[in-house]
Amino acid sequence: MIKKILIANRGEIAVRILRACKDLGIQTVAVHSTADADAMHVRLADESVCVGPPSPRESYLNIPSIISAACISGADAIHPGLGFLSENSTFAYMVEEHGLTFIGPKADHIAMMGDKIMAKKTAARLGLPTVPGSDGAVTNLEKAVKLAEKIGYPVLIKAAGGGGGRGMRVAKTKEEFSAAYEEAKREAAIAFGNDCLYLEKYLANPRHIEFQIIADAFGNVIHLGERDCSIQRRNQKIWEEALSMVLSPEERKDFGQKITKAIEELKYKGVGTLEFLYENEKLYFIEMNTRIQVEHAITEVITGVDVVREQILVAAGNELSLSQSDVQFRGHAIECRINAENPETFVPSAGVVQNYHCPGGPGVRVDSALYDGCKIPPYYDSLIAKLIVQANNREQCLARLRRALREYVIDGIDTLIPLHLKLTEDADVASGNFDIHFLERKFGEAR
Ligand code: ADP
């Protein structure tokens, strides 16, 4: 069994992982940049190591510093969390090379799914439907134009190494195509160091639906149902629900079986999320995330399964503690991402948190690293807290969410709380009438 885990992350996800470790009786080592010396994840860990200056490149992405910190502190495993090094296959490989356990899938599977073209090909080979598009990379503009014509406009130009909603451009017509192509290429080269592009049919009104899976090293695979993450700004999720209102229990069961069979065939180990777009009652695979996701908590509250605990146990070589027939869904859950951002312009907001008051009561869970007086540095992701609410049904869940949002006080910085409050009062949200373009349509271009 693993005795000591180094958590190669910060903020709410580092705290979430620390809590799972403590529940399992595992010692914890936090790493931090100089900007995070007083951060909550450092305060809660048994030990901490400073791994560099504020810039992520020199601290949370600094592989030699992080592996050295694990070796010096006597950790036997590294949990990468999400973002940062969590989907870096070289890091996963190096962790194992140093005799440490990487809490995640095999490096080969991370590399395979990190390349979105390879991921789509793999999904198709395993029998999962994919969004129609180019059969692999598009190598030059001339070929791309011809292909776009064949696919039919509007077309989405995507980066093979993309993530976080970046490196994506829509071309509505042939006239728009070459400028969009060049822009996507430039952005992909800068953001991901890889300008390889591919094309997809741009779906007009899809919902984003994703399945949570967990697999152990013994070939056991289960799914924990789906999440609907359609409410997004700039292709990034800000509000997630479980289960989705649009899948019937039969569809869930049938599709869930297809997915677990595919994952079994892949011999994948660990937690993962298969992301799909859902349109006209059909699901189309877009990508797989080989790590724990921000929105895992809504799955936890409707299934009662501690996903991070299972992730650690599976990495430590244990069999899954439950089978598919043990998975039951209770009521409805919604998560609001509380980002430190202006709720109208989405401009990030740094500063010192004041008058912090966290909501509570039945069905309310807050995952955060916040405390009164804590600093929100300008160097990192703007997600500072997750408000997760569960109730017997969706209507009660929305009422509970509204109550919790009204109780939540975070002064000193801008947050998305006012936007989430508006969403809880919106008639289309209440009736479930939304797709991935909802926020943009509702509140205008800024989103
Ligand atoms: P990333 O890894 O950058 O998050 P994804 O491929 O997961 O990129 O897509 C992010 C979001 O972009 C999706 O949730 C969806 O809103 C939108 N999107 C992706 N592919 C398509 C498509 N073919 N048609 C319409 N929207 C899409």
pLDDT < 50: residue spans in the chain: 445-447
Question: Is residue 307 situated within a structural domain?
Answer: yes
Shared domain check, 216 and 194: no
Q: Residue 165's pLDDT is what? A: 82
Residues known to be catalytic: 291
* Atom 21 of ligand 1, nearest CA residue: 202
- The domain that holds 432 is classified in CATH as 3.30.470.20
Which residue's CA lies nearest to atom 1 of ligand 1?
163
Which of 164, 179, 201 terminates a domain? The answer is 201
Q: What is the pLDDT of residues 57-88, one digit of tens each?
A: 999 999 999 999 999 999 999 999 999 999 99
Using most ligand atoms within 8 A of CB, pick from 235, 289, 440 the residue to mutate for ligand 1.
Answer: 235
Does ligand 1 have an atom closer than 6 angstroms to the CB of 131?
Answer: yes
> Which of 377, 378, 389 is CA-nearest to residue 421?
389
Would you state the structure tokens that stand for residue 219, as one six-digit string? 């070939």
Q: How far apart are CA 396 and CA 340, in angstroms?
A: 27
pLDDT of 446 reads 47
CB neighbour class for 372 (10 Å; exposed up to 12, middle 13-18, buried from 19): middle
Q: Indicate whether this model's pTM tops 0.75.
A: yes
- Considering the domain boundaries, does residue 163 fall inside one? yes
CA 334 to chain centre: 15
Is residue 125 in some structural domain? no
Asked which of 154, 173, 201 is the last residue of a domain, the reply is: 201
- As a whole number of Å, the CA-based R_g of the chain is 21
Q: 219 in ligand 1 pocket by Cβ < 6 Å?
A: no
Range of the domain at 97: 4-103
- E-assigned strand segments in 358-434: 364-368, 375-376, 383-391, 409-411
Quick check: CB of 202 below 6 Å from ligand 1? yes
pLDDT of 164 reads 84
Residue 43 and residue 181 share a domain = no
- What is d(CA 268, CA 221) in angstroms, rounded to the nearest whole number? 9
Domain count, the chain: 3
Q: Say yes or no: 439 and 320 in one domain.
A: yes
Best of 291, 436, 438 to mutate for ligand 1, by most ligand atoms within 8 A of CB?
Answer: 436
Domain identity same for 34 and 150: no
Look up the CATH number of the domain holding residue 175. 3.30.1490.20
Distance 344 CA to ligand 1 centre (A): 22
Q: Same domain, yes or no, for 175 and 211?
A: no
Q: Is the dihedral of CA 243, 252, 207, 133 positive or negative?
A: positive
How far does CA 434 lie from the centroid of its chain? Answer: 20
Same-domain check for residues 172 and 256: no
pLDDT for 1 equals 86
Q: Are residues 291 and 375 in the same domain?
A: yes
CA 113-115-117 angle, to 5 degrees, is 100
pLDDT tens digits along 335-356: 999 999 999 999 999 999 999 9
Cα–Cα distance, 96 to 39 (Å, whole number): 28
